Structure 1
Amino acid sequence: MFNVPSKLEADKLIGRVNWKACLRSADLVQSRDPDFRVLRDGSVYSTRAVVLPEGKRAFTVWLSDMETEMQKELTVVLEHQKKILKKRSTKEAVLRRSKRRWAPIPCSMQENSLGPFPLFLQQVQSDAAQNYTVFYSLSGRGVDQEPLNLFFIERDTGNLYCTRPVDREEYDVFDLIAYASTADGYSADTPLPLPIKVEDENDNHPVFTETIYNFEVPESSRLGTSVGVVCATDKDEPDTMHTRLKYSIVEQTPRSPGLFSVHPSTGVITTVSHYLDREVVDRYTLIMRVQDMDGQFFGLVATSTCIITVKDSNDNAPTFRQNAYETSVEENTYNVEILRIPIEDKDLMNTANWRANFTILKGNENGYFKISTDQTTNEGILCVVKPLNFEENRQVVLEIGVNNEAPFTREVTRVTSMNRALVTVYVRDQDEGPECNPAAQYVRIKENSAVGSKINGYKAYDPESKNSNGLRYKKLHDPKEWIKIDETSGSVTLSKILDRETAAPQNELYNVTVLVIDKDSRSCTGTLAVTIEDVNDNAPEILQDYVVICKQKMAYTDISALDPDDPVYGAPFHFSLANPSAEVSRIWTLSKVNDTAARLAYQKNAQLQEYMVPVTVKDRGGQSSTKVLRVNLCDCSHPSQCVSSARRSGVVLGKWAILAILLGIALLLSVLLTLVCGVVNTRKGKQFPEDLAQQNLIISNTEAPGDDRVCSANGFTAQTANNCSQRFGGTMGSGIRNGGQETIEMVKGGQQTLDSYRCAGHHHTLDPCRGGHVETENSRYTYSEWHNFTQPRLGEESIRGHTG
């Protein structure tokens, strides 16, 4: 049942009926009353102006399912609802109403209406009109906003009109606001939102997204292979019959056979046959159609063109034009082309489906031939890559196969095997020169063999006569000129003594290149590979010369040896002390670490100094050598501290500090030269003067006057000690480092150390000189005594100077 006005205009939308609730499968919906029509979506329209007698009218809608022949009827009732107003008592101050009318009223209008205009839409009434004289007005889009003056309302009656047709695709709804006010401008009611919906009319054709669609599909595709998707749009109202589209194929070119279909709803084009063959037809053209109203005959139609290109697949095997070929080649010829083999292939040219891939299946076990493909002509090119010998093979039969670069398509049901052809290659005879076979011939010679020793040399032969008569031999390359070769026999004579260790041969072979010439001046070259057999003529050699042992951190040091002889004459090595002195035997011991190394350890009571330790090493063949190791037993945390003694970073000094240091340097040089050179008067007993020990030692990096003499500041002259074995002497306090600038270095607290001195014209650190002696007055002290005496006092003086 629908509530409608008592008078209905033509083409007026009355409402929608849900006919699917009665018969969902109905494909025909018709109205029994000619004054009304019903669309498939259930929309009910008046076909002409209708007045409801007594405010009520009914008609029947007929539903039919053509397949099942099922029919049903649906009754639609139209009723006019009258406004009922209660009479008010004049004593009532408040208006009582049975129903409010001043509320949003659903209202719609048909797009593209033919009028007559102005077209009445509905009447707006305010509740306040029952007590007051009210006037109506409008605002919103279509009134005072674009499109202007499309709607207006009668000021006194509230009748709402439209002045001209409306396009729903441009404006689908108008949100108007109605006002009710008294003559003096008083708002009798709140503003009323008044939406006016524009009902859709099927006035837009569907449109394909592309004028021409281009798709590709591989040939020999399986049934149901997706080719592509066509798509269309419709500007009419979505989710209605006006925009419900159906696709179809109108025409296919070439016409036969029909290979494609399109899904009516999705527009997906698929294959319906497996007869796609690019070699027969490589392109198809489809005329596509789309129709709205779900494809009903009265729906609007659009068409488009779809071009489907059939892509090539490897569904045709390459084939030889003939089954057998013949060619010839001269013996000893190689890297030459001897035959071109053409093929046929129906697949697309210059693709992997067309390009041939040739293979030698049989007859090339020795690798004399190679076959490749000419990328332009697709021919097989047969070449000889190794020289053929007429005396061994007068003809060779090859079996050639051919395939494509791309694998054969799996979709093709027929089975194809590789196409094959036979090629007979005839070898032509040639007058040949000498043959160096094998190219490399091996001999063995012991090193240190006597000069003039003869051994078998290189042998070549004539392939025609199979002997070496008449051949001459010449030496082309002998790296160290160790041998001579006999011109007629090819035998070898030693011209020098062979030394395996100096030859540095590759893979322990000494290679000599030999040239062989026949009577016609034809030649060949070969290699005489000499294996030099080793003799135990080298003793193992200890790798170290000088080692440092930090007594604080290290209890021993490891030494290693190397023997250049063959391993059979090498490790394991035997290490031992070689005729050591009593002091060395008491302090030092050797023990094995592994086959090539030994461990040198010292007793705990050993003094800090440099020792000369003779060590002998012997290989398994009895060869031995002795080396005297310089071992520095040092009071350090790391060996590098004994190489360059306790260097410290410099600090910036003021001018008064520098002056004080320079004065200290003069005094220190005087005392040190007196102590070292022994030019002061002697005293009885071994006792160092306390005033000497209490001085701060300062390094003065000034250039020394020379290596022969040192002139001290107090006028004493000291001779330098040229005997470097004492490691004590030379220009004391010299601070020149490789010709660098003069610098003054200080350590924290002002304590200075004597960093280096010169010995025989060279710099040496102080620590290696331990084991020397110091003379004061008439007493002589060892370095360790000097060190143990001065170090504590230097520390106390450093602290005293720092706190001071």
Structure 2
Amino acid sequence: MKVFEILAIPLHILYRNMTGYGQDGGFSGPLKPMTFPISEGEEKNNQVIFQFKADATDKKFQLSGETDDIFYIHPDGILYYTGLLDREKKAVYVLQVKVLDAGGNRVEGPVPITIEVLDINDNRPVFLQRQYNGTVRQSSRPGSNIGVFQAYDMDQKDTVNSFLSYTIVEQRPVLPSDGLFLIQNVAGIIQLAKGSLRKQDQPQYHLKVQVADPAFKTICDVTINVIDINDQIPIFEKNDYGNLTIDESVAVGTTILTIQATDGDEPFTGSSKILYSIVEGDPDRKFVIDSDPFTNAGYVKINEPLDFEIVPIYYLVIKAENPEPLVDNIQYNSSSYARFILRVSDVNEPPLFSQALYEAQISEDAKIKTKLITVNATDPEGEAISYSLSEDTQGWLRIDGVTGEIFTTGQLDRETAKNYRVKVIATEKGGSYLTSSAYFQLTLLDVNDNPPRLVKDYTGFFFCHPLTTLGSIIFQATDDDQQPPWGPQFDFSLGDDGLQNDWEISKINGTHAKLSTKHTNFEEKVYEVSVKINDRGRPPLENTVSFPGELYLSFFFHILG
């Protein structure tokens, strides 16, 4: 903690500036806890606050604490300050005073000394905003609130120095009269003072609002806009739009009728904007009405496909209304409603399938003439329908032209086409021959109908006679059936027990094996070696594969499924 000792100021100067801040009106006294109130705002130079006295003359006083280079103490005990105090920056200073002997040892204290900075009215009130904007509805009653204006004062809170009062000092224009607005003196709430305003007469007012404390005043600009109220209902130019006939095939989104209503409220506001809705005759929302934001015209459009066979005629009632609520004493009436009759004409339509994709699954070894599925299509006009197939590239399927039943006509093969898709065509028989189509996808389930085989032709394998070392061949097997996730698991063995003296076979993994000679004492000739490969299928299948070529020692593989 910084300790200040002021030795250079002559005592006669300090005594000359002594003003007497001591408690009980005294200028001096013994060292004890004390509080000194000092007013802010006036810059002082060596202003004496109090003189502390000690019993012995060889003692000196020392000051510490929140001195802030403002407060000092003379060694003889005179407490004083130099500079400017500002309560808004710091309201209380806490100091400590102690007494030292000639050797610098503490003999008394430290004791707390508190400086309280007293407020003076030295701050001007300030508005939170430089410009305020408010709105008032036309025809509002006197006393209606428009807005709240807030200002603040940096002087001490809840004192006369920070007490603020509000007044309106100017209104422009003074039409239809002056004093149209008032502001609550303390709360700052601005209100409509008298009469009711009409936007048609004057859409905007400008005020100057003053906030004041006992010493200062501040002016703020206020703009008040008079806004329209929704006291006019939309009125249709005509309430009956007659009869309209359209084909059931009219596309979704097509505009079929334009309607028009007008509103006497202020243009391009929520009070004059018109929204149209169908309130009767359209429970399935087949229609929608879009509004033009500039002209308020309404465009009746097709929202969902029409169907003569379901609903041939619509009796529609349309309501025009505003997004802004009407004032309490105004209600919509018959002028805001219109009606028209829409007749839907029949159009010859193609047959409709019950679904776009039919699916079935069956084992690839299914018998010919097995029934797979029945597809179904209906004609909107009730005409008879015939069925046919296209894109049956393998010739595996047949459809009953009357019932829609699909059968197999050939041997299926999953390895040729796992997912087999054909197009089904429904044709109307009523003379127009209109058609529609759907797809049928047949998923074939695998059966073990493919024997294992070598993954490639192993050519050029031979051993030179005489053998000097043992020889071997590594080969790989596969088959075309659907494999389990962990891959095929083939078993390998010699095809003849008579081969076991000269040859041996060892399995490397599920697809690879190694055929090896067991000795080197072979004659110079062609040897036929068969190998069985079992795929553990149900049922197992058999096949024979050989190594082609001119070999000194030739190998033949007999593959057993």
Query: % of aligned pairs identical?
Result: 24
RMSD, aligned α-carbons: 6.3
CA distance in 2, matches of 1:113, 1:218: 51
Residue 514 to residue 287, structure 1, CA distance change in 2 (3 Å): farther
User: Which protein is bigger by CA-based radius of gyration?
Assistant: 1
Residues in 1 aligned to 2:39 and 2:113: alpha-carbon distance in whole angstroms: 17
Picking from 475, 479, 502, the partner of 2:388 is: 479
Answer yes or no: is 1:417 the counterpart of 2:353. no
Tell me which residue corresponds to 2:521.
none
Question: Counterpart of 1:577?
Answer: none
> 2 CA distance for matches of 1:269 and 1:736?
96
1:513 aligns with 2:400: no
Question: Does residue 358 of structure 1 match 2:276?
Answer: yes
Corresponding residue to 2:53 among 107, 118, 125: 125
Among 408, 413, 437, the alignment partner of 2:325 is: 408
Write the distance in 2 (CA, Å) between the matches of 1:175 and 1:81. 21
Deviation at 1:202, TM superposition (A): 1.1
Measure the CA separation in 1 of the matches of 2:246 and 2:536: 79
State the 1:146 CA deviation.
2.4
Amino acid at match of 2:406: T
Match for 1:502: what amino acid? Answer: I
Structure number with the higher strand fraction is 2
* Structure with more helix by fraction: 1
Partner of 2:498: 711
For residue 379 of structure 1, what is the aligned residue in structure 2?
297
Quick check: 1:240 aligned with 2:27?
no
Kept after mapping to 1: 8 A contact 2:20/2:49: no
Task: Choose which of 7, 24, 39 in structure 2 pairs with 1:110.
Answer: 39
Letter in 2 for 1:479: S
Q: Distance in 2 between matches of 1:204 and 1:232?
A: 12
How far has the Cα of 1:286 moved from its partner? 4.4
Give deviations 1:51-83, integer Å, cap 9, x for gaps: xxxxxxxxxxxxxxxxxxxxxxxxxxxx87899
Deviation digits for residues 535-585 of structure 1 (CA, Å, limit 9, x no counterpart): xxxxxxxx9x99xxxxxxxxxxxxxxxxxxxxxxxxxxxxxxxxxxxxxxx
Aligned to 1:146: 69
Per-residue Cα deviation, 1:145-194 (whole angstroms, up to 9, x for no partner)? 524xx6554x55x4544455533334434444445456676655334433
Q: Determine the structure 1 residue equivalent to 2:236.
A: 320
Please give the residue correspondences for 1:138-287 in structure 2 after superposition, counting only pairs within 5 Å: 138=63, 145-147=68-70, 153=74, 156=76, 158-163=77-82, 166-181=85-100, 189-214=108-133, 228-251=147-170, 264-267=185-188, 285-287=206-208
CA drift at 1:499? 6.4
Find the aligned partners of 1:763 and 1:182 in 2 and give their Cα distance: 112
Secondary structure of the residue aligned to 1:106 is strand
Amino acid across the alignment from 1:358: Y
The alpha-carbon distance between structure 1 residues 436 and 503, as it changes in their structure 2 partners (threshold 3 A), is farther
Q: 1:502 aligns with which of 384, 406, 414?
A: 406
Shift of 1:103: 0.4
SS at match of 1:213: strand
CA distance in 2, matches of 1:193, 1:361: 83
- Provide Cα deviations, 1:335-364, integer angstroms capped at 9, x if missing partner: 675653333235566666544333456799
The number of equivalent residue pairs is: 403
The answer as to whether partners of 2:318 and 2:338 remain within 8 angstroms in 1 is yes
TM-score, length basis structure 2: 0.50
Retained in 2: the 8 A contact 1:397–1:422? no
One-letter amino acid matched to 2:330: R
3-state SS of 1:242 partner: helix
CA distance in 2 between partners of 1:371 and 1:207 (Å): 53
**Inter-partner Cα distance in structure 2 for 1:371 and 1:315:** 24
How far, CA to CA, are the matches of 1:182 and 1:268 in structure 2?
65
Q: After TM superposition, give the deviation of residue 195 of structure 1 in Å.
A: 2.5
Structure 2 matches for 1:323-342, cutoff 5 A? Answer: 340-342=258-260
The unaligned stretches of length 5 or more in structure 2 are 1-16, 353-378, 391-399, 409-423, 437-444, 449-489, 517-530, 541-561
Matched to 2:262, the amino acid is E
Which whole-Å deviations, capped at 9, do the CAs of 1:384-437 have from their partners, x for residues lacking one?
99799xxx99xx997653223x2624x53322335346678999xxxx9xx877
Distance of 2:172 and 2:330 partners within structure 1:
28
Conservation of the 8 A alpha-carbon contact between 1:206 and 1:234 = yes
Per-residue deviation at 1:513?
1.6
Alignment of 1:654-733 (within 5 A): 702-705=492-495, 710-713=497-500
Tell me: higher relative CO, structure 1 or 2? Use CA pairs within 8 A at least 6 residues apart: 2
Q: When the two structures are superposed, what TM-score results if normalisation uses the length of structure 1?
A: 0.38
Give the 3 Å change call, closer, same or farther, for CA 167–359 of structure 1 in structure 2: closer
Which among 512, 519, 539 is matched to residue 740 of structure 1? 512
Partner residue in 2 for 1:571: none
Q: Could you say which residue in structure 1 is the equivalent of 2:209?
A: 288
Shift of 1:209: 2.2
Flag the 1:198–1:480 CA change in 2: closer, same or farther, 3 A. Answer: closer
Match of 2:321, SS state, is: strand
Paired residues of 1:205 and 1:234 also in contact (CA < 8 A): yes
CA contact (8 A) 1:107 1:197 kept: yes
Gap regions ≥5 residues in structure 1:
1-8, 16-78, 84-99, 293-297, 442-457, 461-472, 482-495, 517-523, 529-542, 547-699, 716-731, 745-757, 769-804
SS in 2 for 1:711: helix
User: Contact between 1:177 and 1:191, CA under 8 Å: does it hold in 2?
Assistant: yes
Q: Please give the secondary structure, in 2, of the residue aligned with 1:419.
A: helix
**Alpha carbons of structure 1 residues 187 and 398: separation in structure 2 relative to 1, 3 Å:** closer
